[in-house]
A and B are shown apart, each in its own frame.
Chain A
């Protein structure tokens, strides 16, 4: 039920945005987002509300750290 799905913002309206969630377009409420979103941003969507803006750089960082461990192991 509480599944959050990442969606890419493709259009911005006053209190909502159209996002692409795995190929499906949906209108989601942006009333819970303090920060501004722009077209192209990723947001985490839960029951029709964007609950957080996603940070792709943080994601890359996590993945990079793991690769660095690889050297430590060998």
Chain B
């Protein structure tokens, strides 16, 4: 698409870098957190950190749903597969996430368990229609990905399909942003706000952050988008005035996608959620509403999740909160590589550790 080429254009990148240079107060440190895994990947892939002056730091946040899923839930999925005659339907990203004893869905599949990769929740319908077995969909993701899961549930009701259930691991952004903003030892000046989450939630998601004194710019994912957003964040910081700036107007509308939000909350309701390496954040997760409980895999299969589990030595929690860089983890690059990942931040293509490993800081 021609549009994308224009957003990768070197001339425009140069112009933005000069602008950034002009705005840059050199004895100051600018610390911006990119919340979204796709930003992390794009920043690394295009080497944007190395293009920026040294005192402008881009810190990766908890934006990849695979990375923040708790170890207990991952292990519970494996138990479910091994102890029941089910078909697992999942997004490809989850295949290589390691369990506490080193196994993953990929390995289980090669052992003969029925694990299928889907591109859309709606693919689950076709699978279910062609089997008598129970199909369990691993429902994961933030506001962008949850409405499609809700769409699946509605469709199941409509077509009276009973042999599908959802293993719900969905989370939402407001409370975790709050959590990061109120941490004691993380100094962030502003947020590079996730483009596609915002396409659903709209700008209001960031209003509390702005009120607490953080710069917020909603950003697209191309190099020009990211650099322009950095520039806009610097302007707010230099002025000491904060507002929600939408620098992804080609996709994000002020009120977001109200239809999608409505769909999501028709099927799901807020609940507490456990974030890997972080712990419980009240009201940061989603669960199926009472009238859709028939589709809850946790209830259907009596699944108990042990949330106290963690991977010894893995520092994903600190990476996700911007406390350390991936390279500061002692397992980085030796025990933990994308070919043989130990922690989830190295597994997902959107994970910070994987991005640092593949493209450098």
Which of B43-51, B104-112, B248-256, B280-288 has 4 or more CB atoms under 8 Å from chain A?
A: B248-256
**B residues less than 8 Å from A31 (CB atoms):** 151, 263
Q: Which of A1-57 contact B (CB under 8 A)?
A: 1-4, 6, 8, 22, 28-29, 31-34, 44, 46-49, 51-52, 54-56
Main secondary structure, interface of A, reads: mixed
Interface of B is mostly: helix
Q: Given contacts A29-B122, A51-B260, is CB(A58)–CB(B144) below 8 Å?
A: no
B123 A48 Cβ-Cβ under 8 A: yes
B259 touching A47, Cβ below 8 Å: no
Q: Knowing A1-B64, A1-B348, A51-B200, say if A6 contacts B1 (CB, 8 Å).
A: yes
B361 is an interface residue with CB less than 8 A from chain A: no
Add 15 more A-B contacts to A6-B4, A32-B259, A62-B247 (CB < 8 A): A1-B66, A1-B141, A4-B144, A8-B1, A28-B120, A29-B120, A31-B151, A32-B151, A46-B196, A47-B119, A49-B148, A52-B257, A59-B3, A67-B15, A70-B15
Tell me, rounded to whole Å, the shortest Cβ–Cβ distance linking B11 to chain A.
Answer: 8
**Contact partners of A56 in chain B: CB under 8 A:** 3, 250
Scoring B66, B253, B348 by chain A CB atoms within 10 A of each residue's CB, the highest score goes to B253
Q: A29-B148, A48-B122 are in contact. Are A66 and B12 (CB under 8 A)?
A: yes
Which of B16, B151, B228, B253 is in CB contact (< 8 Å) with A49?
B151
> Footprint of B on A, CB under 8 Å?
1-4, 6, 8, 22, 28-29, 31-34, 44, 46-49, 51-52, 54-56, 58-59, 61-63, 66-67, 69-70, 72-73
Interface assignment of B199: CB less than 8 Å from any CB of chain A: yes
Q: How far is the CA of A74 from the CA of B144 in the complex (A)?
A: 41
Chain B residues in 8 Å Cβ range of A29: 120, 122, 148, 151
Assess whether B6 is interfacial by the CB under 8 Å rule.
yes
Taking a contact as CB atoms under 8 Å apart, the answer to whether B142 and A2 are in contact is yes
Would you list which residues of chain B between 190 and 206 have a CB under 8 Å from chain A?
A: 195-197, 199-200
CB atoms of B259 and A34 under 8 A apart: yes
Q: Which residue of A lies closest to B151 (CB)?
A: A31
Contact partners of A47 in chain B: CB under 8 A: 91, 119-121, 141, 145, 148
Q: Which residue of chain A has its CB nearest to the CB of B350?
A: A1
- A51 and B37 within 8 A (CB): no
Output the nearest chain B residue to A43 by Cβ-Cβ distance: B251
Q: How far is the CB of A72 from chain B (nearest CB, A)?
A: 8
Quick one: which of B64, B151, B251 contacts A54, CB cutoff 8 A?
A: B251
CA distance A48 to B141 in the complex (A): 14
* Residue ID in chain A nearest B200 by CB atoms: A51
A-contact 0/1 string along B237-267, CB 8 Å cutoff: 0000000000101111100011110010000
Contact across chains for B3 and A48 when beta carbons are under 8 A apart: no
Q: CA separation between A34 and B257, bound complex, in Å?
A: 8
Are A52 and B253 in contact, with the CB atoms below 8 A?
Answer: yes
The answer to whether A48 touches B19, judged by C-beta atoms less than 8 angstroms apart, is no
Partner of B6, one of A22, A52, A55, A63: A63
